[in-house]
Chains A and B, each alone.
Chain A
């Protein structure tokens, strides 16, 4: 059953194609995509357990041997991220039923949603650099459509900018693949890794490493390349925003994970120090944005940038603790960002405004929303029993071992500021006297709350049960710290 490795990609592809045929039948669309998402979770759970028992799974597409054909590789990191992606996809799909509106649903919202999942799952699972580019494009094309679907003025304006930035970064990706191909003469990631370790990182490889950092940094919004993100993520409707915030930037980070642990690890003094500096600056910029705004969407959007910085700082430290911290943190962050966007969407739905200064006293009529938001907020900041804690703790431990005290200080202070920014939402939005009568049709809000509560419960379980998840993380870190394990599994030597 080696084809299991590719099922997280094939299954949404099949669903997406099927959904195109009945675009106007909304009930059927909802039913099929919800069922398919649920099966997607089951498949990826099965994938995680199979990787746990059998080690890294590889699938040579078309029975061609590893360096010559395209290889699909599921190691523990990829399978965990695929599982997280599918859970988030399920929750956001459920939320979309109550919030996206029939007009959008009739115009291929659900098929495009599935195509986005194909792109994300494929990018996590591929073992080939050019194939990664193609899955990036699948993901980006779907995101262009989701961003502009509906065609309001702000969406048109912002998607124009988003597409131009991404066309630029895609061209950069092609250019970097061309350079790397001319140096090593292969596209398979494991083969590239072996050949680079044979030539032992001359100057040109460092240049290409920084080039890839620019490419993936443009996708993942790191310090000097983040300017497109606040505007573009502000434009689409809430479920699309949650999907983008939880998945898209994380694919860029995963690619940095992959390239900087598998290929470009020979000249760490240069490449990883560079990465560390950018990560710290990213955190600082994110913090400044998060405490500056009174707009609930903007606050969460800048929190994405902070999390990107924290995870990248963990990667740049490159020891066992910091890497496992980064993996824990990326999974936690995907879950909790999706939940926060959904909750903020409910707040906007109730109060009819996204400005905090127009809200107040929501807790009186909507206590369930308030307490869910409270738990999500303290999880985001990393208060001990919840999910953000273990990841940050391990990153800090790893950094202390390496003596990166400046970075440690920035990460710790940033947690405080993150807490301040989300508590600002909680205290001004939910406490105080109500600024208006917020009596909505209560049933709809309760339905919208279900997926958010689901995500928060999963993230709380993830935080409380870190001990039982930890063996999986260790297995993921093992193949990151020792590229030979990955290379052996792929090249079958």
Chain B
């Protein structure tokens, strides 16, 4: 992805030099032309087109903001309930993410979403230990949310 991005910037630079006008709009036109060239020659790259990864990252950000809002509403309802009948627990979540940055991203996302906080990442980085605030009704729901997060992180990191 970094290579394609650099190539695109380089083509934009070459375009600026060829048209001898060094303005932002020329640069943007050069970027678009470079994108077109990269799309045309896409079968020579081993990875996906980088715009799909940018799109996946954008979708992940949208998902994250949605979950953050939902999590705050659920914590609000929990706190303002007159009788506090919550069931906190610590459970293990197996993960098959590999890179360090993916695991960091996943645990940050989990920490900021409904009723869960990452307590401990196991030494082999295969298991995340998560403290959940009210597990009775959310255990399965949370697992599905984790799957959606993990899936979209994989979507971003897939070559």
Q: Do A and B bind each other?
A: no
State the A residues within 8 Å of B (CB): none
